[in-house]
A and B are shown apart, each in its own frame.
Chain A
């Protein structure tokens, strides 16, 4: 096991190099530069000042040199300073925002698992029934649903029409003055809509996948054996079939990480949640190169580690797989 993990970790290095080279090139080859954005509003900005700004950000050097400088800093985990007026270190900016994004994604993953697995299993066990057909309709709606639209509808319904839930941010203005339990409830109320929406997107795919797995497993001979020796149907389904059908879910979870991270841009923008997605959106708009590179890098690392954990967990869960 350990040699395998080490080998995978080593293999991550060239992949990360590839990713960062692509990002860096694409970003710097695009027309327009951060110094233009910062100076275009100021009529007194002279050509000389622009050149000084460019030199300050190392933007006057050739692209490979700039990449090399960036890479040298990255090795010691120095993400550089943001181009935005506050000039704060990128790492600090990301650090204060990453927990929110990870927490929302983690909660929505839990919600997806809690709903999709029973849904998929029941649909497979009752294949062709009304319930199965209804879940199919739900699944196809889920696949086609623009989640940002659903977010708007739920905001209108729960936030404005019923006025039950807050529609932006993760805390109320008076958060600091609330007693602990009320503060917790406040946080919870702010998270309900974003978490359930981000779960909804993944729900369709996973329940359909679960249903297909289950149908596949039920056909196997060991299930026939279990039935033949007279085990109750409940035991056959939940102990013998479900366990085997669950295995591939591990891999799917690993693969779904980029989608979840990408989706957080939309959610965090809609609900004004101060997470990584929102930071990325603002950084992109301001051409804040170090921040954009930092977030892309972190996103890629999270994805790679997620895939590795998924593969290792699969091998641990299924003795037939040897790594």
Chain B
């Protein structure tokens, strides 16, 4: 399972890095003589409504997915780990304030909020990454907080405190490494979620803007030509499915490998 996951994820990395060399056409080159042509030997996955090669657009689109997945999860991890660590380590009113804030954020229909913010800002890939990250940290905060609460009374923390280590040092060099297992798992699963959200936003037309190719915005073209060009809808979605599945399997694999205790939670 984890193996399948890592192969899928690795394949995505390879494709994204090699995009300039392996894509058969320029992804933004318009060819009005071959508009909406079905898959053939010259265009393996067909062409879109402007005659652009779908395979090339998908290969370049993988870069977007990779970037969005990592940057937005990075942002979510940064916020989630810091808030969770402070909340779990200090407890008391700090914990109360942070946890109530988490509760509030969890009450949002998150997708509505993302939609509103992205539509009001200029739709650009950076805005998308920031907003997906800024609305996806609550689960991580709760996980890290729970780990910190159970770890902060342990002997090794006591020992660190006894030799006069600062709070900052205890949090980041003593407790956090012990909480990394759940952070890593949440991060991997977060990448999968971010890729799904980006593709949904691009599909709705407020994500990555054409002509820049993204799997989501190729699907929009698929929807517009749904009655005549099935290939425009079929292949990009398949790519999303396999990528997200890859990260999910990898996350589950890491969970099993690092911490068998965590298995009971799901």
Contacts and interface: CB of A to CB of B under 8 A. Distances in A.
A286 to B, nearest CB: 10
B120 A148 contact: no
Contacts of A269: 204
A295 interface: yes
A140 B245 CA distance: 7
A299 B112 contact: yes
Name the residue in A23, A152, A212, A303 with the highest tally of chain B Cβ atoms < 10 Å from its Cβ. Answer: A152
Contact of A212 (B106, B108, B196, B266): B266
Contacts of B122: 31
Q: Is the interface of B mostly helix, strand, loop or mixed?
A: helix
A235 B119 CA distance: 54
B159 interface: no
B115 A280 contact: yes
Interface residues of B, number: 44
Contacts of B234: 153
Nearest to B106: A258
A203 interface: no
Given A148-B203, A295-B112, A31 B121 contact: yes
B248 interface: yes
Nearest to A26: B117
B120 A32 contact: yes
A91 interface: no
Contact of A281 (B204, B227, B242, B249): B204
A190 interface: no
B233 interface: yes
A284 B116 contact: yes
Contacts, number: 135
Contacts of A263: 111
A23 B115 CA distance: 12
Contact of B112 (A156, A209, A262, A270): A262
Given A30-B120, A149-B240, A212-B266, A262 B249 contact: no
B113 interface: yes
B189 to A, nearest CB: 9
B103 A149 contact: no
A284 B112 CA distance: 9
A284 to B, nearest CB: 4
A266 B114 CA distance: 13
